[in-house]
Structure 1
Amino acid sequence: MAELYSKAEDRTPYTVVALQECERMNFLTKEIRRSLKELDLGLKGELTITTDMEELGNGLFLDQVPASWTKRAYPSMYPLGVWYADLLLRIK
Protein backbone atom coordinates (compact mmCIF):
# COMPACT_ATOMS: atom_id res chain seq x y z
CA MET A 1 0.00 0.00 0.00
CA ALA A 2 2.84 2.41 0.79
CA GLU A 3 4.16 1.82 -2.73
CA LEU A 4 0.90 3.11 -4.15
CA TYR A 5 1.30 6.36 -2.26
CA SER A 6 5.02 6.93 -2.54
CA LYS A 7 4.75 10.45 -3.96
CA ALA A 8 4.19 13.08 -1.29
CA GLU A 9 2.01 15.19 -3.58
CA ASP A 10 -0.39 12.26 -4.11
CA ARG A 11 -1.06 11.90 -0.40
CA THR A 12 -4.30 13.45 0.73
CA PRO A 13 -4.82 14.06 4.47
CA TYR A 14 -7.15 11.04 4.53
CA THR A 15 -4.49 8.85 2.96
CA VAL A 16 -1.90 10.00 5.49
CA VAL A 17 -4.24 9.26 8.40
CA ALA A 18 -5.16 5.84 6.99
CA LEU A 19 -1.49 4.91 6.57
CA GLN A 20 -0.69 6.11 10.09
CA GLU A 21 -3.56 4.04 11.51
CA CYS A 22 -2.37 0.97 9.60
CA GLU A 23 1.10 1.44 11.01
CA ARG A 24 -0.22 1.85 14.57
CA MET A 25 -2.44 -1.23 14.27
CA ASN A 26 0.43 -3.31 12.88
CA PHE A 27 2.66 -2.23 15.77
CA LEU A 28 -0.08 -3.03 18.30
CA THR A 29 -0.91 -6.45 16.86
CA LYS A 30 2.79 -7.37 16.74
CA GLU A 31 3.10 -6.48 20.44
CA ILE A 32 -0.03 -8.50 21.30
CA ARG A 33 1.28 -11.51 19.39
CA ARG A 34 4.79 -11.22 20.88
CA SER A 35 3.63 -10.81 24.47
CA LEU A 36 1.11 -13.68 24.27
CA LYS A 37 3.72 -16.03 22.80
CA GLU A 38 6.15 -15.03 25.54
CA LEU A 39 3.52 -15.59 28.24
CA ASP A 40 2.68 -18.99 26.74
CA LEU A 41 6.34 -20.01 26.90
CA GLY A 42 6.54 -18.76 30.47
CA LEU A 43 3.49 -20.73 31.53
CA LYS A 44 4.95 -23.85 29.89
CA GLY A 45 8.12 -23.38 31.92
CA GLU A 46 10.31 -22.66 28.90
CA LEU A 47 10.96 -19.05 30.02
CA THR A 48 11.25 -17.43 33.40
CA ILE A 49 8.12 -15.45 34.25
CA THR A 50 8.92 -11.73 34.25
CA THR A 51 7.01 -8.87 35.82
CA ASP A 52 5.63 -7.91 32.40
CA MET A 53 4.44 -11.46 31.80
CA GLU A 54 2.81 -11.57 35.23
CA GLU A 55 1.04 -8.25 34.58
CA LEU A 56 -0.17 -9.56 31.23
CA GLY A 57 -1.53 -12.72 32.85
CA ASN A 58 -3.25 -10.72 35.58
CA GLY A 59 -4.78 -8.38 33.01
CA LEU A 60 -6.12 -11.30 31.00
CA PHE A 61 -7.55 -12.91 34.14
CA LEU A 62 -9.19 -9.66 35.33
CA ASP A 63 -10.56 -8.73 31.86
CA GLN A 64 -8.37 -5.61 31.69
CA VAL A 65 -6.32 -4.40 28.75
CA PRO A 66 -2.67 -4.98 29.75
CA ALA A 67 -0.52 -1.85 30.14
CA SER A 68 1.94 -2.95 27.44
CA TRP A 69 -0.96 -3.01 24.96
CA THR A 70 -2.56 0.21 26.22
CA LYS A 71 0.66 2.13 25.56
CA ARG A 72 0.45 1.21 21.89
CA ALA A 73 -3.32 1.38 21.46
CA TYR A 74 -5.97 4.03 21.05
CA PRO A 75 -7.63 5.43 24.20
CA SER A 76 -10.43 3.20 25.45
CA MET A 77 -12.32 2.51 28.68
CA TYR A 78 -13.60 -0.89 27.53
CA PRO A 79 -12.81 -4.10 29.41
CA LEU A 80 -10.50 -6.50 27.58
CA GLY A 81 -13.16 -8.62 25.84
CA VAL A 82 -15.04 -5.65 24.39
CA TRP A 83 -11.75 -3.84 23.62
CA TYR A 84 -10.49 -6.82 21.63
CA ALA A 85 -13.74 -7.11 19.66
CA ASP A 86 -13.50 -3.37 18.93
CA LEU A 87 -9.86 -3.79 17.86
CA LEU A 88 -10.85 -6.49 15.38
CA LEU A 89 -13.55 -4.24 13.90
CA ARG A 90 -11.10 -1.35 13.59
CA ILE A 91 -8.58 -3.57 11.83
CA LYS A 92 -11.22 -4.89 9.46
Structure 2
Amino acid sequence: MSDNVRLTAWVRGQVQGVGFRWWTRSRALEIGLLGYASNLADGRVEVVAEGPRQDCERLLEHLRAGDPPGRVEGVTDLWGEARDSYEGFVVR
Protein backbone atom coordinates (compact mmCIF):
# COMPACT_ATOMS: atom_id res chain seq x y z
CA MET A 1 0.00 0.00 0.00
CA SER A 2 1.39 3.36 -1.07
CA ASP A 3 1.50 6.42 1.19
CA ASN A 4 1.44 8.59 -1.92
CA VAL A 5 -1.44 10.83 -2.93
CA ARG A 6 -2.58 12.46 -6.14
CA LEU A 7 -3.00 16.22 -6.34
CA THR A 8 -4.95 17.65 -9.24
CA ALA A 9 -4.77 21.44 -9.40
CA TRP A 10 -6.40 23.79 -11.89
CA VAL A 11 -4.57 27.09 -12.13
CA ARG A 12 -6.35 30.11 -13.58
CA GLY A 13 -5.03 33.47 -14.63
CA GLN A 14 -2.43 34.43 -17.22
CA VAL A 15 -0.75 31.02 -17.18
CA GLN A 16 -0.57 29.98 -20.83
CA GLY A 17 2.15 31.09 -23.22
CA VAL A 18 4.38 32.42 -20.42
CA GLY A 19 6.44 29.34 -19.42
CA PHE A 20 4.19 28.42 -16.48
CA ARG A 21 4.06 24.69 -17.30
CA TRP A 22 7.87 24.50 -17.55
CA TRP A 23 8.24 26.43 -14.28
CA THR A 24 5.81 23.98 -12.64
CA ARG A 25 7.74 21.02 -14.02
CA SER A 26 10.97 22.41 -12.59
CA ARG A 27 9.40 22.86 -9.11
CA ALA A 28 7.87 19.36 -9.22
CA LEU A 29 11.17 17.74 -10.23
CA GLU A 30 13.04 19.62 -7.48
CA ILE A 31 10.54 18.23 -4.97
CA GLY A 32 10.62 14.73 -6.50
CA LEU A 33 7.04 14.43 -7.74
CA LEU A 34 5.65 12.54 -10.72
CA GLY A 35 2.93 13.76 -13.07
CA TYR A 36 2.30 16.45 -15.65
CA ALA A 37 1.26 20.03 -16.41
CA SER A 38 -1.06 20.63 -19.34
CA ASN A 39 -2.82 23.59 -20.97
CA LEU A 40 -6.61 23.40 -21.05
CA ALA A 41 -8.79 24.87 -23.79
CA ASP A 42 -10.37 27.36 -21.34
CA GLY A 43 -7.03 29.04 -20.54
CA ARG A 44 -6.27 27.20 -17.30
CA VAL A 45 -3.35 24.88 -16.64
CA GLU A 46 -4.04 21.47 -15.14
CA VAL A 47 -1.34 20.10 -12.84
CA VAL A 48 -1.44 16.46 -11.73
CA ALA A 49 1.21 15.42 -9.23
CA GLU A 50 1.78 12.23 -7.28
CA GLY A 51 4.01 11.65 -4.28
CA PRO A 52 3.98 12.01 -0.49
CA ARG A 53 1.24 14.38 0.66
CA GLN A 54 3.66 16.87 2.22
CA ASP A 55 5.55 17.11 -1.08
CA CYS A 56 2.33 17.65 -3.04
CA GLU A 57 1.33 20.33 -0.52
CA ARG A 58 4.69 22.00 -1.13
CA LEU A 59 4.04 22.10 -4.88
CA LEU A 60 0.55 23.48 -4.25
CA GLU A 61 2.08 26.26 -2.15
CA HIS A 62 4.45 27.08 -5.03
CA LEU A 63 1.47 27.27 -7.39
CA ARG A 64 -0.44 29.57 -5.05
CA ALA A 65 2.28 31.78 -3.62
CA GLY A 66 5.49 31.16 -5.53
CA ASP A 67 6.91 33.47 -8.16
CA PRO A 68 5.76 31.79 -11.38
CA PRO A 69 5.86 33.37 -14.81
CA GLY A 70 2.57 34.98 -15.75
CA ARG A 71 -0.10 35.76 -13.19
CA VAL A 72 -1.99 33.26 -11.03
CA GLU A 73 -5.48 34.42 -10.10
CA GLY A 74 -6.52 31.26 -8.29
CA VAL A 75 -5.90 27.56 -7.80
CA THR A 76 -8.53 24.87 -7.25
CA ASP A 77 -7.25 21.59 -5.86
CA LEU A 78 -8.62 18.06 -5.62
CA TRP A 79 -6.98 15.26 -3.63
CA GLY A 80 -7.17 11.53 -4.28
CA GLU A 81 -5.32 8.25 -4.17
CA ALA A 82 -2.16 7.92 -6.22
CA ARG A 83 -2.45 5.69 -9.26
CA ASP A 84 1.32 5.26 -9.64
CA SER A 85 0.97 5.66 -13.40
CA TYR A 86 3.60 8.32 -14.13
CA GLU A 87 7.29 8.30 -14.87
CA GLY A 88 8.92 11.66 -14.27
CA PHE A 89 7.08 14.96 -14.57
CA VAL A 90 6.24 16.12 -18.08
CA VAL A 91 4.77 19.07 -19.91
CA ARG A 92 1.89 18.12 -22.17
TM over 0.5: no
TM-score, structure 1 normalization: 0.33
Larger proportion of strand: 2
TM-score, structure 2 normalization: 0.33
Structure whose CA Rg is larger: 1
Greater RCO, 1 or 2 (C-alpha within 8 Å, sep 6+):
2
